[in-house]
Structure 1
Amino acid sequence: MTVVLGKEMRMVESRARDRMVVAAADMLRRRGLNATSVRELAKHSGAPLGSTYHYFPGGKSQLATEAVRFVDGLVARKLAKDLSAGPVVALREFVDMWRKVVLDSDFRAGCPVLAVSVEDLPDTDDPRLAAAAAFDQWTGLLADSLRAHGAADAVATRTATLIVAALEGCVAICRAQRDTAAMDRTADALEEVVRGVIGHSGG
């Protein structure tokens, strides 16, 4: 099964329920929310359709919500680890992670959190709320690191929001253009901003 965010995804436990969540995240990043059915998710994970509804009685909305939370957790753990080396290093690693996502999928996959955030389901708002929480968490981690390295509070929040928004947008641009040049240019610009707000050229 195709991984979602690199080697971290391959380390997920192999239980049936976990495989369904991973499969949902993979399909969401490729096809979006509304174009993905529970039947297709079951097939993609190799699970019987009945098992899908057994583990996820809330159907597609519950599965999508848990998939977003799963990816949120993966990204947050990676960010937290990278931020221990400083915001500049973490920015580079964050960029490299998304570059790997689009390149490893031959530009067919993006961010499942973004995919869910721009689509609605008629019966629930839970997937979108999970996406909002994910963006909040990533932004918060980045902002905390920027503050710890000398950025003023409001500047840290603004810069962290810029980083997340710019890279999410770059993923979409790279997929459309089948090229990572936009991400490379954006990474350079973001690094310049980060170095400016922390007041020195170090990590």
Structure 2
Amino acid sequence: MGKEGSKEGSGARRRMVAGAADMIRRRGLASTSVRELAAHAQTPLGSTYHYFPGGKQQLAAEAVRFAGGYVSATLTRELAAGPVAGLRAFLDLWRATVLDSDFRAGCPVLAVAVEEQPAQAESGAVAAAAEVFAEWEALLARSLVGQGVAEDRAARLATLVVAAVEGTVAMCRAKRDIRPLDDTAAQLEELLAAAVGP
């Protein structure tokens, strides 16, 4: 019974984190209450405070890490075939997110990063967003270095890729048009291919 209860609790906790990531990518953090997050995850409100005693900030931080981890796992797998393959996978993830949601969803990591007030910059959610962005940059940079690109240039290119894609996803949602992402994809792919060389 203890093990079953533990599995059940673990499943409820995962549902809450995944549900929070989904709501944040659609509505942002500021527009989402803990009550709504619990309802979206189909869990009692009391469970939210049981599993996340730090409240909304703790839940948001875990949601950001959850979403970031999914992207990182995809990047890690695809970067094994090289930086351009990793870039394509990164772009494909966001293209699917935007199109499958009919332009209603974006990146929960970006949503948290841009919505939180400067006074909250040290909050768990913002710190988690910074960690996720840094991890994506590090994965891309390591792949470029592995292909012979100098470390400083690889780091700058990785930052450019993450910043360009995140910004372009926001543009696509605002314009309700995927073209900005496709245009950015073409330019970034040329840039990485030139950096890696033949």
> What is the TM-score normalised by the length of structure 2?
0.92
Deviations 1:51-70 (A, max 9, x none): 11111111100000000111
Aligned residue for 2:5?
none
Distance 1:52 1:58 in 2: 10
The code of the aligned residue for 1:142 comes to L
Query: Does the aligned pair in 2 maintain the 1:151–1:199 contact within 8 Å?
Result: no
RMSD (Å), alpha carbons: 1.5
Distance 2:133 2:43 in 1: 30
* Structure 1 residue 126 displacement after superposition: 1.1
- The one of 12, 29, 32 aligned to 1:33: 29
Aligned residue for 2:4?
none
Aligned residue for 2:145?
147
Distance 2:85 2:65 in 1: 25
Q: Percent identity?
A: 59
The code of the aligned residue for 2:112 comes to V
Q: How does 1:2-151 map to 2 (within 5 A)?
A: 15-120=11-116, 125-151=123-149
* Structure 1 residue 93 displacement after superposition: 1.1
* Structure 1 residue 179 displacement after superposition: 0.9
The code of the aligned residue for 1:148 comes to G
* Structure 1 residue 14 displacement after superposition: 7.8
Unmatched segments (≥5 aa) in structure 2: 1-8
Distance 1:189 1:14 in 2: 43
Aligned residue for 2:3?
none
The answer to which structure has the higher helix fraction is 2
> What is the TM-score normalised by the length of structure 1?
0.89
Unmatched segments (≥5 aa) in structure 1: 1-12
- The one of 189, 192, 198 aligned to 1:191: 189
Aligned residue for 1:6?
none
* Structure 1 residue 29 displacement after superposition: 0.4
Distance 1:178 1:34 in 2: 22
* Structure 1 residue 150 displacement after superposition: 1.3
Deviations 1:85-141 (A, max 9, x none): 111111111111100000010000000000000122667611001000000000000
Distance 2:109 2:125 in 1: 9
State yes or no: 1:160 paired with 2:153.
Answer: no
Distance 1:152 1:15 in 2: 44
Distance 1:41 1:85 in 2: 38
